[in-house]
């Protein structure tokens, strides 16, 4: 029984129908309404706005040599010049969208591959489980950045390869989390019912189990997006990124660190936007996780729900 | 004994006047969710006498556990006691400070929880856990070691050092609960609260634990409160009983009077729902369900489900009145006619046809552990076969072999003469369609992300490939058959009660018109009034549709209400099989006879003592 139990009068139906239709949207919506979630969403939206709108409002072309190397901020160049004398503000505004796009793509790849692996391991069990999870263990033994560097140094620093490498390095950790989340669900009776209807394993996983994993998936996605940004910025810092003339927040930190004393803004601003984005994503993810777990539920409400929940299988 | 340990807040009037020999005296207890939240429990008054058991019965959500915990001065997070008093030997527990309350708990009031496996710490030895209580309340007992051995003997545990060295997982369920009892009685409390301590135990173990509880309570002269949903157990154990509904006590009085002649319509309904192993009678459930806190109207909370309700009942909460040796909260006590005895089921069983399902020499194992050995079983068409057995007897494994969820078996299972493959994956779609299954736990058998309509339509789509319109027609039809109706099509499982969910699961099984329906403990997670409704529904459907059915249960009392044949399993072997009537009434094996003797029954003469 739930608190929203309609009782004997069918007329008094609570309006839960619409919300329930997209559970994950409801959870996200609730999360965003908590102070924590709102803060996270605010930070993330701010950085995304800078990255997306930036290129259109940048005062100067990002590649033009306009001022002195490490020129001080002035009325014309608000954040001064970089190591070649390019406008830092324009490069910050222009240097985000590709980084974010790559990070999002890598995250999608990582979550997709990881979820598929974790779910298959949990549902199929036996040998499949062993093979998948031992492979995961091996990949996890390498630090993520080192693994990406390895791939890049063998195959060359191509952008698609960076995305793929970062995405694939996410997959093992995602697989771990998703496996444990779906172990319990795989044992539920409705999954057995689907099997008894002759549903194929892939269909059982996609239609019966996956929908119940929306919350851990959302939390993982947020977390992995943060990591993607950090690793890509890190790779860019190490020289594996967009080729030189193009602006990129990660590359900018590397390029301009020699002039930290002359024009610190050329390093600080790109570092701050990256930090704001990762912190924002983290807070937002945390808020979603809390709502899903019921930590942010009012205690009275929680008590009422518990009081009505029947003892699971208790009357045996 | 009670005088020395009493805290300083003893009130002047003490246990005098009305309380008489009441050790426990609860008056007008009210518990709310939050300070201004809806009342969860209201106007609860109870009295517990020394050496006697007070039964507190009600279905899930009635507030019985909330009251039981309040007797220890405890409320769950989010709930708080907003009124009334709980006097134990004259001391109002609700006025004690946290420190004094802690001194009381364990020493003067103790608690035996429902699930001993969860209540005992798996990482600590039994001896350590028994000593713990005595260590906290050091003044109570003289020599703690001697006291432990004494209380263990009283709880019928082996009072040996070897036993004390064991870990909880090395004990059986019954022994674990005995340890729980020993811990509770160790400090010689004045009040002991038992929260369904035998739920989940097999009937024979339950019988022994109940005997132990009875003798301990009498021996120590404690007031015991026994919380249970199982009316038969309470009728055997309790001298007085209080029936709770929606947070109030609707009827209370001496057990023999109250159970022999219930006055409140809810009590009557509950008693009519209780199955009995001694006769084949249809069970009458109570339609509808209990309103949750916050959705209780101004009138009698039972009025929406009551056959006798008047406008007056719906307008105002009825006062508690004394009638025929008990108190009742019903305005129509005098007018409601005495309940008539339930008519017996037609004993003439419809002729059974050819064998639908035949199980021959089936042995199964989990890994290397054998679970079933050489099972033979026949299910005739148009008949229901009950498979009964205690936990671990292999009854659920048998069901899993038949439906194809368990693949590691040998022998032969044939469906209308055609052998079935071991795993569901290797069976043709037609074979899968013809055997449908209803699972035990309605809370995990429906996908929470799908609507009732989707859930029931799914097998139609997979097995019959009907068009959307035909599907809807059939789904609405079958939902009507299980008395849900088309209004449930767009609901989600978490908007349904346990009974409603189980109906959906039954509808999903019936919608493809199977030849055989396998029901695995389908009512064991449900309240007794809902169980009665579901069992009746299954019986009616089975008769109507001429369905062959396997009804797996641990509850012998249910067998005759639903099945024509019975098979008794023990440790993976069939010990007895035959017509249900004969197996239960004249059991030929000692095992069945013992099980029958141990089943708790309603209204027995209270043993003298």
For chain A, domain boundaries: 97-243
Q: Indicate if the pLDDT at residue B557 is higher than 80.
A: yes
Give the pLDDT mean for B249-265.
89
pLDDT at position B403: 92
pLDDT at position B13: 35
The token duo for B15 is: 């246990």
Q: Indicate if the pLDDT at residue B518 is higher than 90.
A: yes
Cβ contact, residue pair B498, A199, below 8 Å: no
Q: Indicate if the pLDDT at residue B568 is higher than 50.
A: yes
The token duo for B163 is: 């036993």
Distance of alpha carbon A107 from alpha carbon A129, whole angstroms: 23
Cβ contact, residue pair A300, B508, below 8 Å: no
Q: Which of B61, B196, B291 sits opposite A7 (nearest CB)?
A: B291
Q: Indicate if the pLDDT at residue B599 is higher than 50.
A: yes
Cβ contact, residue pair B497, A1, below 8 Å: yes
From residue B332, alpha-carbon distances to B259, B263, B265, B299 in Å are 18, 9, 9, 13
Q: Which of A8, A9, A188 sits opposite B444 (nearest CB)?
A: A188
Q: What is the DSSP letter of A314?
A: -
Q: Indicate if the pLDDT at residue A86 is higher than 80.
A: yes
Beta-carbon count within 10 A of B56 CB: 29
Q: Residues A46-83: pLDDT tens digits?
A: 988 888 888 888 777 777 777 777 777 777 777 777 87
Cβ contact, residue pair A193, B294, below 8 Å: no
**Tokens 């017509």 belong to which residue?**
B579
Range among A49-63, A78-92, A153-167, B368-382 rated most confident = B368-382
Percent of chain B with pLDDT over 90: 24
Q: Indicate if the pLDDT at residue B281 is higher than 80.
A: no
Q: What percent helix, strand, coil does chain A show, rounded to 5?
A: 70, 0, 30
pLDDT at position A22: 59
Of A12-16, A131-135, B152-156, B256-260, the poorest mean pLDDT is in A12-16
Which is higher by pLDDT, B42 or B608? B42
Which A residues in the span 216-235 are in contact with B, Cβ-Cβ below 8 Å? none
Q: Which residue of B has its CA nearest to A21?
A: B449
A203 CB near a chain B CB, below 8 Å? Answer: no
Give the pLDDT mean for B458-472.
86
Q: Which residues of A touch B458 (CB under 8 A)?
A: 194, 197
pLDDT at position A14: 39
Query: What is the DSSP secondary-structure string of A63-131?
Result: T-B-S-TTPPP-SSSTT-B-TTSBBHHHHHHHSSHHHHHHHHHHHHHHHHHHHHHHHHHHHH-HHHHHH
Q: Residues B388-444: pLDDT tens digits?
A: 988 888 898 999 999 999 888 999 999 988 999 988 888 998 889 999 999 988 888
Q: Which of A7, A208, A300 sits opposite B34 (nearest CB)?
A: A300
Give the pLDDT band of residue B366 (cuts 50, 70, 90).
confident
Contact B58, B66 (CB under 8 A): no
Give the pLDDT band of residue B340 (cuts 50, 70, 90).
low
Q: Residues A247-262: pLDDT tens digits?
A: 888 788 878 888 888 8
Q: How distant is the Cα of B505 from the closest Cα of chain A, in angstroms?
A: 9
Give the pLDDT band of residue B106 (cuts 50, 70, 90).
confident
Cβ contact, residue pair B462, A14, below 8 Å: no
Q: Which of A196, A306, A313 sits opposite B424 (nearest CB)?
A: A196
Radius of gyration of chain A (CA): 24
Give the pLDDT band of residue B140 (cuts 50, 70, 90).
low
Q: Residues A168-219: pLDDT tens digits?
A: 888 898 999 999 988 888 888 889 888 888 888 888 888 888 888 887 888 8
Q: Which of B76, B439, B498 sits opposite A310 (nearest CB)?
A: B498
pLDDT at position B495: 80
Q: How distant is the Cα of B79 from the closest Cα of chain A, in angstroms?
A: 7
A18 CB near a chain B CB, below 8 Å? Answer: no
Distance of alpha carbon A72 from alpha carbon A7, whole angstroms: 71
Under 8 Å CB-to-CB from B100, ≥6 apart: which residues?
A: B7, B9
pLDDT at position B337: 65
Beta-sheet strand order (sheet of B384-388) = B435-438, B516-520, B548-553, B384-388, B565-570, B573-579
Q: How distant is the Cα of A119 from the closest Cα of chain B, in angstroms?
A: 17
Q: Which of B77, B114, B432 sits opposite A196 (nearest CB)?
A: B432
Q: Which residues of A touch B292 (CB under 8 A)?
A: 1, 3, 5, 304, 308
Which A residues in the span 280-299 are in contact with B, Cβ-Cβ below 8 Å? 298-299
From residue A127, alpha-carbon distances to A115, A131, A137, B65, B479 in Å are 18, 6, 15, 46, 41
Percent of chain A with pLDDT over 70: 85
- The CATH superfamily of A97-243 is MetI-like (1.10.3720.10)
Give the pLDDT mean for B47-53.
89
Q: What is the DSSP letter of B423?
A: S
Q: How distant is the Cα of A280 from the closest Cα of chain B, in angstroms?
A: 30
Range among A286-295, B24-33, B318-327 rated most confident = B24-33
Which A residues in the span 169-198 are in contact with B, Cβ-Cβ below 8 Å? 188-190, 192-198
For helices A35-57 and A23-32, what crossing angle results, to 10°?
90
Range among B155-164, B241-250, B328-337 rated most confident = B241-250
Under 8 Å CB-to-CB from B176, ≥6 apart: which residues?
A: B116, B117, B120, B168
Structural domains present in chain B: 265-328 (no CATH), 355-442+514-597 (3.40.50.300)
Percent of chain A with pLDDT over 90: 11
Cβ contact, residue pair A17, B294, below 8 Å: no
Cβ contact, residue pair B229, A315, below 8 Å: yes
ipTM: 0.76
Distance of alpha carbon B3 from alpha carbon B597, whole angstroms: 43
Give the pLDDT mean for B49-53.
90
Contact B315, B298 (CB under 8 A): yes
Beta-sheet strand order (sheet of B240-245) = B109-112, B191-195, B223-228, B53-57, B240-245, B248-254, B326-328, B321-323
Cβ contact, residue pair B525, A314, below 8 Å: yes
pLDDT at position B456: 92
Cβ contact, residue pair B492, A20, below 8 Å: yes
Q: Which residues of B touch A18 (CB under 8 A)?
A: none
Q: At residue B376, what are phi and psi to the nearest 5 degrees?
A: -115, 140
pLDDT at position A105: 93
Q: Coil, strand, or helix at residue A160? A: helix
Q: Residues A10-40: pLDDT tens digits?
A: 333 333 333 344 567 777 787 888 888 889 8
From residue A246, alpha-carbon distances to A13, A80, A86, A252, B257 in Å are 58, 18, 11, 10, 91
Q: Coil, strand, or helix at residue B274? A: coil
Comparing CA positions, the residue from B125, B215, B211, B234 lying closest to residue B169 is: B125
Give the pLDDT mean for A226-232.
85
Q: Which residues of B touch A2 (CB under 8 A)?
A: 494-495
pLDDT at position A25: 74
**Tokens 């119940």 belong to which residue?**
A212
pLDDT at position B411: 92
Q: Which of B427, B436, B439 sits opposite A189 (nearest CB)?
A: B439
Q: Which of A23, A300, A315 sits opposite B524 (nearest CB)?
A: A315
Work out how many CB contacts closer than 8 A connect A with B: 158
Give the pLDDT mean for B520-543.
88
Distance of alpha carbon A53 from alpha carbon A55, whole angstroms: 6
Percent of chain B with pLDDT over 70: 92
Cβ contact, residue pair A303, B78, below 8 Å: yes
Q: Rounded to 5 degrees, what angle do the CA atoms B247, A20, B537 make?
A: 60
Give the pLDDT band of residue A113 (cuts 50, 70, 90).
very high
Contact A192, B439 (CB under 8 A): yes
Question: Per-residue b/e over A18-46, b at no fewer than 16 CB within 10 Å?
Answer: eebeebeebbbebbbebebbeebbebbee
Q: Residues A271-310: pLDDT tens digits?
A: 898 889 889 988 888 888 777 766 555 444 444 444 333 3
Distance of alpha carbon A209 from alpha carbon A178, whole angstroms: 11
What is the value of pTM for the model shown? Answer: 0.79
Give the pLDDT band of residue B349 (cuts 50, 70, 90).
low
Of A121-130, A236-245, B62-71, B584-593, the poorest mean pLDDT is in A236-245
Q: Which residue of B has its CA nearest to A201?
A: B425
Cβ contact, residue pair B404, A17, below 8 Å: no
Cβ contact, residue pair B424, A16, below 8 Å: no
Comparing CA positions, the residue from B252, B302, B228, B266 lying closest to residue B57 is: B228
Q: Which residues of A touch B439 (CB under 8 A)?
A: 189, 192-193
Q: Which residue of B has its CA nearest to A299?
A: B78
Give the pLDDT mean for B99-105.
87
């Amino acid at each position: 029984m739930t608190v929203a139990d309609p009782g004997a009068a069918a007329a008094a139906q609570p309006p839960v129908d619409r919300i329930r239709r997209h559970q994950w949207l409801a959870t996200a919506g609730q999360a965003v309404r908590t102070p924590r979630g709102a803060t996270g969403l605010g930070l993330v939206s701010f950085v995304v706005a800078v990255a997306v709108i930036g290129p259109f409002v940048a005062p100067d072309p990002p590649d033009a040599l306009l001022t002195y190397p490490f020129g001080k901020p002035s009325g014309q160049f608000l954040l001064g010049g970089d190591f070649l004398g390019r406008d830092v503000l324009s490069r910050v505004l222009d240097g985000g969208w590709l980084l974010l796009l790559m990070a999002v793509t890598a995250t999608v790849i990582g979550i997709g591959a990881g979820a598929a692996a974790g779910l298959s391991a949990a549902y199929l069990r036996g040998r499949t489980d062993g093979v998948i999870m031992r492979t995961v263990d091996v990949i996890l033994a390498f630090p993520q950045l080192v693994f990406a560097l390895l791939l890049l140094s063998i195959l060359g620093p191509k952008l698609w390869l960076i995305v793929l490498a970062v995405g694939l390095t996410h997959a093992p950790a995602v697989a771990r989390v998703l496996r444990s989340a779906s172990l319990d669900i795989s044992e539920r009776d409705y999954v057995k019912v689907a099997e008894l209807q002759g549903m194929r394993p892939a269909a059982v996983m996609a239609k019966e189990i996956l929908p119940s994993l929306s919350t851990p998936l959302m939390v993982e996605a947020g977390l992995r997006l943060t990591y993607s940004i950090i690793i890509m910025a890190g790779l860019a810092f190490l020289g594996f990124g967009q080729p030189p003339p193009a602006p990129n927040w990660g590359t900018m930190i590397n390029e301009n660190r020699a002039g930290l004393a002359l024009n610190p803004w050329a390093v600080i601003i790109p570092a701050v936007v990256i930090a704001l984005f990762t912190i924002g994503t983290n807070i937002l993810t945390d808020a979603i996780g809390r709502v899903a777990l019921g930590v942010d539920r009012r205690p009275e409400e929680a008590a009422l729900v518990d009081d009505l929940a029947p003892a699971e299988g208790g009357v045996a | 004994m009670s005088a020395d340990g009493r805290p300083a807040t003893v009130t002047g009037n003490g246990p005098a006047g009305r309380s008489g020999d009441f050790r426990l005296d609860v008056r007008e207890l009210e518990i709310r969710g939050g300070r201004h939240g809806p009342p969860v429990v209201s106007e609860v008054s109870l009295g517990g006498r020394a050496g006697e058991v007070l039964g507190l019965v009600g279905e899930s959500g009635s507030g019985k556990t909330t009251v039981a915990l309040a007797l220890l001065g405890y409320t769950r997070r989010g709930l708080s006691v907003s009124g009334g008093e709980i006097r134990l030997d004259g001391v109002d527990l609700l006025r004690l400070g946290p420190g004094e309350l802690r001194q009381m708990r364990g020493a003067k009031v103790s608690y035996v929880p429902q699930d001993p496996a969860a209540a005992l710490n798996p990482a600590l030895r039994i001896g350590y856990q028994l000593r713990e209580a005595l260590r906290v309340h050091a003044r109570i007992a003289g020599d703690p070691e001697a006291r432990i051995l004494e209380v263990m003997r009283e709880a019928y545990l082996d009072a040996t050092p070897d036993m004390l060295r064991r870990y909880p997982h090395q004990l059986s369920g019954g022994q674990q609960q005995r340890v729980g009892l020993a811990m509770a009685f160790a400090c010689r409390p004045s009040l002991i609260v038992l929260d369904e301590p035998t739920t989940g135990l097999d009937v024979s173990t339950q019988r022994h634990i109940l005997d132990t509880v009875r003798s301990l309570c009498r021996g120590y002269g404690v007031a015991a409160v026994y919380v249970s949903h199982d009316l038969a157990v309470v009728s055997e154990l309790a001298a007085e009983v209080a029936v709770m509904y929606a947070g109030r006590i609707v009827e209370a009085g001496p057990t023999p009077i109250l159970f022999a002649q219930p006055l409140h319509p809810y009590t009557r309904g509950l008693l009519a729902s209780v199955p009995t192993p001694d006769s084949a009678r249809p069970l009458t459930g109570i339609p509808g369900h209990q309103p949750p806190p916050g959705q209780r109207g101004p009138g009698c909370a039972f009025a929406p489900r009551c056959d006798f309700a008047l406008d007056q009942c719906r307008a105002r909460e009825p006062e508690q009145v004394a009638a025929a040796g008990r108190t009742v909260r019903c305005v129509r006590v005098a007018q409601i006619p005495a309940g008539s005895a339930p008519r017996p089921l037609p004993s003439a069983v419809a002729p059974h046809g050819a064998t639908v399902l035949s199980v021959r020499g089936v042995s199964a194992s989990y890994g290397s552990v054998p679970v079933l050995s050489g099972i033979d079983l026949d299910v005739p068409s148009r008949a229901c076969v009950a498979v009964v057995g205690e936990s671990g007897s292999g009854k659920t494994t048998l069901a899993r072999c038949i439906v194809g969820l368990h693949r590691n078996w040998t022998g032969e299972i044939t469906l209308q003469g055609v052998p079935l493959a071991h795993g569901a994956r290797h069976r043709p779609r037609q074979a899968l369609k013809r055997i449908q299954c209803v699972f035990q736990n309605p809370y995990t058998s429906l996908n929470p992300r799908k609507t009732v309509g989707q859930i029931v339509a799914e097998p139609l789509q997979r097995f019959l490939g009907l068009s959307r319109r035909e599907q809807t027609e059939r789904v609405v039809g079958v939902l009507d058959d299980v008395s849900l109706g088309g209004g449930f099509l767009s609901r989600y499982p978490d908007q349904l009660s346990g009974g409603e969910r189980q109906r959906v699961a039954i509808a999903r099984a019936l919608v493809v018109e199977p030849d055989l329906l396998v029901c695995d403990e389908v009512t064991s997670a449900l309240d007794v009034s809902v169980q009665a409704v579901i069992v009746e529904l299954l019986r009616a459907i089975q008769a109507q549709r001429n369905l062959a059915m396997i009804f797996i249960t641990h509850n012998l009392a249910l067998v005759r209400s639903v099945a024509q044949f019975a098979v008794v399993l023990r440790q993976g072997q069939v010990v007895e099989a035959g017509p249900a009537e004969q197996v239960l009434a004249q059991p030929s094996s000692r095992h069945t006879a013992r099980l029958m003797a141990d089943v708790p029954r309603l209204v027995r003469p209270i043993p003298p003592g």
